[in-house]
Structure 1
């Protein structure tokens, strides 16, 4: 038995060397087997996330920034940048009105269809509660889905004190859920507990990093070879029709790293949501050459122990030299039914005020449509 194991290890090393030598592929093969992955940042919050992702680098994905605010778009780094709604906002933003953002996106539908053509997996990121992100994200998601892509929304919710924005965020989330296959919601309120003393721009940067690392993790899980492989079909199986979802991220080192990484993931201060009853889980584990099969399986079993008995669990593992002595796990739990994901409904006054503003916006849009020579933006007409 010992010689059998020794032979297996010897030929494993030989296989690795031969695979590295044969890693190049022919032009004919390049046309197949590689999914087209696109990350779209909508509005200010989404642009910030795409900018972060562009800077940390992600293998196998294109980044697109969409905004109605030209100034913000100009300072955003992305593979492609699209200013929408020029005829109705004059590049000055949506003024916090989702209907303006939605209309701007609808007018740019042809452009959106072109940039999302042939995409297999589309991430749509936005900050819910504002005008552009809240209004544009559902339109982008629907365009991508209509063209056959699996769509994952990754959005943040506003602070509870922002009652009007909370109401808009809830409405925007409802619209996004209808269009996207899976929607992951991150609560900005948790920043108050996690990094209460950081300057506000640095605090939001923490959330940008978390979203970016998750998108990068999912993308490179698909596009990069793994020890226990996950491919696009696996992601599709979990994410298609996944509904509301949460993500878990953990990292640990030391002798008990398998147990500690599970504890870290389940108790992450920014991601602490009840996952009981989840119907699907996509899990990927990264460790050094010292990570054993038993450790990887232990992590997978512990993280998925309390899921629905019929939950679809797909997991994979990758060995990277830089993770020697430590382990990292990332999981997406789908089919979540938790009141923790969004805060309480906005009060009736905020609801009535928002409904009145939306009515004004629709009238302003009609006025702009009927009078193409009008120089005033929709925002001017509302205010």
Structure 2
């Protein structure tokens, strides 16, 4: 991670200074699972050919390709990374396992010019190739920047194809700055289309970047969003593909993500004396999202810790997050122990069905404000 981005990351998600004093809670009854061939082990012990969930990450457009490049650099176990773009030059420098230039006849490799309808046409033009790439997939992450041409237009097409193949589809998108005028309307229209063809969409508001990266160079500020989405995807993928202490499998992810709606990424990390509490507080007060967790439909919580972490600590993290949600929310949690995480803990949660005034759209937003004013009997002034 770039030093400047690392500094922003720590400011946003936390890094403690002290070392925890708890006695080892899991040592002595755990063996390392990282180097085990689980398919072979299951086959030998149970005479069963284990189905391995096929997971893909698809980056659409410039912003999506930047994110998958970062994910590829980080390395992700158990997922195939694919990049789609209408801009041939940008696609050429993108890092991914597979690449597809879409809209060859429509854009001739020169981009969509900020027009979502061109991005949509480009993806439709290569529909057969996209379907071939996604054949047999169980879970697809589609990442894009809303408000431009290629990502906004092509992401819903890719999602619709993936859904037609029976996959669980999770969108992960960024929304424009308030100053970006017409891009905001394009983004809201694109998000509305994407929500119709996905199980859930995780949203990051670029506007919130200003609070933490307003004085940083533009590239480094956007790198923070790429880092966040990549961490979220890597966390979920490796929760499924790499055995955990408290396991989360594909069925768990499917159950929570099928709750639908808009989702929030929650990431917190700490190595302080009160590491669990600090990490959870960082997670639920996430700086890149403006959301209300009350009434959320579900949560997938994954805790990564060292062998010195206790079961009580892990349980505390799950309870702290659960208390912020509706009593009816479906909450599934798991934990993974890594030697390199000794003395610290990372909490990654995907909370589905959250409320966000920013995501209502202009007309619905105004109606929501009028309703609230009628309830309270006072005017509401938006910042």
Runs (4+) of structure 1 exceeding 2 A deviation are 16-24, 26-33, 340-346
Work out the CA distance in 1 between the residues paired with 2:237 and 2:36.
24
Q: How does 1:77-226 map to 2 (within 5 A)?
A: 77-226=95-244
Q: Which has the higher contact order (CA 8 A, sep 6+)?
A: 2
Work out the CA distance in 2 between the residues paired with 1:17 and 1:66.
37
Gap regions ≥5 residues in structure 2: 1-25, 365-383
What are the Cα deviations for residues 60-100 of structure 1, in whole angstroms up to 9, with x where unaligned?
A: 00010001110110110110000011111111011100001
Question: What residue is the counterpart of 2:22 in the other structure?
Answer: none
Structure 1 residue 25 corresponds to structure 2 residue 43 = no
Gap regions ≥5 residues in structure 1: 1-7, 347-383
Q: Does the 8 A contact of 2:139 with 2:169 survive in 1?
A: yes
Change (3 A) 1:276 1:324: same
Work out the CA distance in 1 between the residues paired with 2:66 and 2:42.
35
Structure with greater Cα Rg: 1
Q: Partner of 2:53: helix, strand, or coil? A: coil
Q: Partner of 2:179: helix, strand, or coil? A: coil
Normalising by structure 2, we get a TM-score of: 0.83
Work out the CA distance in 2 between the residues paired with 1:249 and 1:150.
22
Structure 1 residue 262 corresponds to structure 2 residue 274 = no
Q: How does 1:292-307 map to 2 (within 5 A)?
A: 292-307=310-325
RMSD over equivalenced CA pairs, Å: 2.3
Q: Does the 8 A contact of 1:282 with 1:331 survive in 2?
A: yes
Structure 1 residue 74 corresponds to structure 2 residue 92 = yes
Displacement of 1:340 after TM fit? 3.6
Q: Does the 8 A contact of 2:34 with 2:242 survive in 1?
A: no
Aligned residues: 337
Q: Does the 8 A contact of 1:182 with 1:245 survive in 2?
A: yes
Change (3 A) 1:30 1:47: farther
Normalising by structure 1, we get a TM-score of: 0.83
Question: What residue is the counterpart of 2:331 in the other structure?
Answer: 313
